Amino acid sequence: MNAVAIGPLVFSNARFQAVLAIFVFLAVVELIAWRWPRHAQDARPWSILALLSWIGAARLGFVGAEWDSFAAAPLDVLALWQGGFDPLAGLAGFGVVTLLGTLRRPSVAAPLLAAAACAGIAVAGARLALPDEASGRLPEIALPDLSGRPVPLTDAEGRPVVINLWASWCPPCRREMPMMMEVATARDDAAVRFANQRERAATISDFLRRQGLASDAVLRDPDGRLMERFDLLGLPSTLFFDAEGRLEAVHTGEISRAQLNARIDDLTRETP
């Protein structure tokens, strides 16, 4: 299972764990402030600062590691909803702010550390209950392109394969597709394909024409076979297969340029 569905909302495991950690952290701080009011004045503001420092440091750590991708689109640094965080860098940022808070207000240490410990336990429990597993193989099937010609998914000339599942009605699909097509054009070390889910060829062609996007790598999956095969809960979803056809990773939700390039780099490093 690589995603969690809560009503109409679908979260990747990583996003769900991040939301859970934030909720538990703030809830524990509030519980401590309610139970021991003398801590409230110090604990609440410092908990917000510590949380923001974790998010900011984790983001900067990821941006620094993937700067080549962010240099091509610097504003992507602000697209926090796409994901891309370095947990260790975030932990360092949290630790610095917690230390500063403790030096100024010793009563801050216990609430922040207790809340952080509870958040960590909650995330660990979520990981055990919802393991981020990626298993399976590239299906030996052919999907039609927009002209109706069948294209075997395994026809990749020995390269890794990336398959993006999308639909024209899906806002994050529309946002990420131009970037993904740019990456697909710029890299020849992986075969990147776009498998539309359950839409007519005319609808797909009209969308691509209006957006000024190429149709070369676009395939149709009119019955949603790929979503069913890999038990995917929502769109967009991106599947990453190594050169041997093994599924190595699944990304649920909008993907950033940096994450896409990093995943492809991981696949190509594994290619003999």
Given the structure tokens 């691509």, which residue do they identify? 208
Find the helix packing angle between 171-186 and 201-211, rounded to 10°: 70
pLDDT value, residue 271: 63
Q: Is the pLDDT of residue 38 over 80?
A: no
Which whole number is the average pLDDT over 173-181? 97
Which residues are paired to 221 by β-bridges?
197
223's tokens: 């019955």
* Angle CA 59–61–62, to nearest 5: 65
pLDDT at 208: 98
| Tens-place pLDDT, residues 21-31 | 999 999 999 99
Tokens of 211: 């957006």
74-102 average pLDDT score: 93
Say if residues 83 and 256 touch (Cβ distance below 8 Å).
Answer: yes
What is the pTM assigned to this prediction? Answer: 0.85
262: tokens are 């990093």
pLDDT reading at 131 higher than 80: no
Number of neighbouring beta carbons within 10 Å of residue 3: 22
pLDDT at 67 over 90: yes
Q: State the average pLDDT over residues 6-14.
A: 78
Q: Measured in Å, how far apart are the chain's first and last C-alpha atoms?
A: 29
Q: Identify the structural domains of the chain with CATH numbers, from first to last.
A: 3-129 (no CATH), 142-270 (3.40.30.10)
The type of residue at 61 is G
Instruction: Name the more confident of 41 and 226.
Output: 226
12 phi-psi bin (left φ>0, alpha ψ -120 to 50, beta other): beta
pLDDT at 1: 60
The whole-angstrom separation of Cα 17 and Cα 13 is 6
CA dist 152 and 93 (Å) reads: 47
- Find, among 141, 144, 162, the residue nearest to 201 by Cα: 144
Share of residues in the chain with pLDDT > 70 (%): 97
Is 193 strand, coil or helix? Answer: strand
Backbone φ and ψ for 4, nearest 5 degrees, come out as -125, 130
* pLDDT of the residue at 272: 61
Instruction: Render pLDDT for 180-238 as a digit per residue (tens, 0 to 9).
Output: 999 999 999 999 999 999 999 999 999 999 999 999 999 999 999 999 999 999 999 99
Cβ distance 4 to 13 under 8 Å?
A: yes
Q: Taking every pair of C-alpha atoms in the chain, what is the biggest distance, in angstroms?
A: 71
| Inter-helix orientation angle 13-35/109-129, to 10° | 150
